[in-house]
Amino acid sequence: MVFGKLREGLSRTRNRIAHALRRLGGDTSTAQSLEALEEILYTADVGPLAGELLADAEKQLRGGRLAGPKELPEYLRGRLSGLVQGPEGDPLPLRPKGPTVVLIAGVNGSGKTTSVAKLAAWLQRRGNRVLVAAGDTFRAAAVEQLRIWCGRVGVDLVAGAPGADPAAVAHDAAEAALRHAVDVLLVDTAGRLHTQSNLMAELNKIGRVLGRKIEGAPHETLLVLDATTGQNAIQQARRFTQAVPVTGLILAKLDGTAKGGAVLGIGSELKLPVKFVGLGEQLEDLEVFHPGEFVDALLAAPQPA
């Protein structure tokens, strides 16, 4: 069950806050409840927002807009799901005509290549024709890794010789996408170059080359963030969003982290929709992000083992 995977992935975060959550819903004083709320927010690594949320809750209680501490769990649920934006409809809307180009960016090791493979599988499942471009020519093994994934998914890959100019690969991939009339071209990119400014310049160059071949491309630039890095991911994201027009986030490695709440902090801080979450290393471990479902999974009562 799809919902099951999200719950399972968030189990460490949920278990850490479960105790405080019980106190929050229990028969406690306002002060104790606020303390429990604070514990939940900090444990889940919601980030700087925690203070704000807490102050708001206190104000609501004092002003009588919340009848009592018993209403705090519902208040928390509402506030948390309002913090972060989901894709609101189709996370990857396709152009009516011509290939939709999706550029995948992020620091090294964040989960880009795996996310490209998962996205290819996801698109294929919904009946789209997909082509993948190996835009990471910096790391020798990168193309091979992507080739194996594409073989598993059953999609074609456009790659250059080792050390090739990634913009040239993007150029060839765009031409192939047009020639084969695919629905989506997914472009993997390098996470590390000699310098940070090289990386951003290269991403921009890839984008320009794609745009010269296919109108409006890249239509989406998705930034892949490693959810286990919690608040650090925000710093990374800031650097990328300053350099390239990021249209949405993929939060990878949400499974197994105890910092699941960071998603909310990241999403609301960056004012970018979280389009997908990565919940494992397999092809099917990618889900469309829905704020309400996410918060429900985060705050759900622990399931009997």
Ligand X SMILES: Nc1nc2c(ncn2[C@@H]2O[C@H](COP(=O)(O)OP(=O)(O)OP(=O)(O)O)[C@@H](O)[C@H]2O)c(=O)[nH]1
Q: Residues interacting with Mg ion, by CB under 5 A?
A: 112-113
Quick one: which of 255, 265, 270, 275 contacts ligand X (CB under 6 A)?
255
- The residue with tokens 């286990």 is 228
Which of 288, 285, 300 shows the shortest CA–CA distance to 91?
288
166 binds, among Mg ion, ligand X, none (CB under 5 to 8 A by kind): none
The CA distances from residue 38 to 32, 188, 241, 296, in Å, are: 10, 40, 30, 18
Q: Looking only at residues 97 through 116 of this chain, which bind ligand X when binding is defined by CB under 6 A?
A: 106, 108-114
Residue number of the CB closest to ligand X reads 191
| Beta-sheet strand order (sheet of 130-135) | 156-158, 130-135, 184-189, 100-105, 220-226, 248-252, 274-278, 286-288
12/77 with CB nearer ligand X: 12
Which of 246, 237, 239, 250 shows the shortest CA–CA distance to 288?
250
Binding mask 116-145 for ligand X (x = CB under 6 A): --------------------x--x--x---
Q: Does 198 bind ligand X (CB under 6 A)?
A: no
Residue number of the CB closest to Mg ion reads 113
Query: Can you give the length of the chain in residues?
Result: 305
29/282 with CB nearer Mg ion: 282
CA 84 to chain centre: 11
What's the closest the beta carbon of residue 52 comes to ligand X, in angstroms? 29
Burial of 18 (0-12, 13-18, 19+ CB in 10 A): middle
What's the closest the beta carbon of residue 298 comes to Mg ion, in angstroms? 29
Give the span between the Cα atoms of 249 and 221, in whole angstroms: 9
What's the closest the beta carbon of residue 142 comes to Mg ion, in angstroms? 5
Q: Does 166 bind ligand X (CB under 6 A)?
A: no
Q: Does 256 bind ligand X (CB under 6 A)?
A: yes
What's the closest the beta carbon of residue 19 comes to ligand X, in angstroms? 26
256 binds, among ligand X, Mg ion, none (CB under 5 to 8 A by kind): ligand X
21/134 with CB nearer ligand X: 134
129/139 with CB nearer ligand X: 139
Retrieve residue 283's tokens: 């092809």
- CA triplet 11, 290, 122: central angle to 5 degrees? 90
What's the closest the beta carbon of residue 105 comes to ligand X, in angstroms? 9
253 binds, among Mg ion, ligand X, none (CB under 5 to 8 A by kind): ligand X
Give the span between the Cα atoms of 273 and 84, in whole angstroms: 7
Which of 230, 252, 254, 249 shows the shortest CA–CA distance to 11?
254
Quick one: which of 25, 99, 191, 265 contacts ligand X (CB under 6 A)?
191
What's the closest the beta carbon of residue 199 comes to ligand X, in angstroms? 10
Q: Does 281 bind ligand X (CB under 6 A)?
A: yes
DSSP structure string for 133-159: EEE--SSHHHHHHHHHHHHHHT-EEE-
Contact footprint for ligand X (CB under 6 A): 106, 108-114, 136, 139, 142, 191, 252-253, 255-256, 278-281, 285
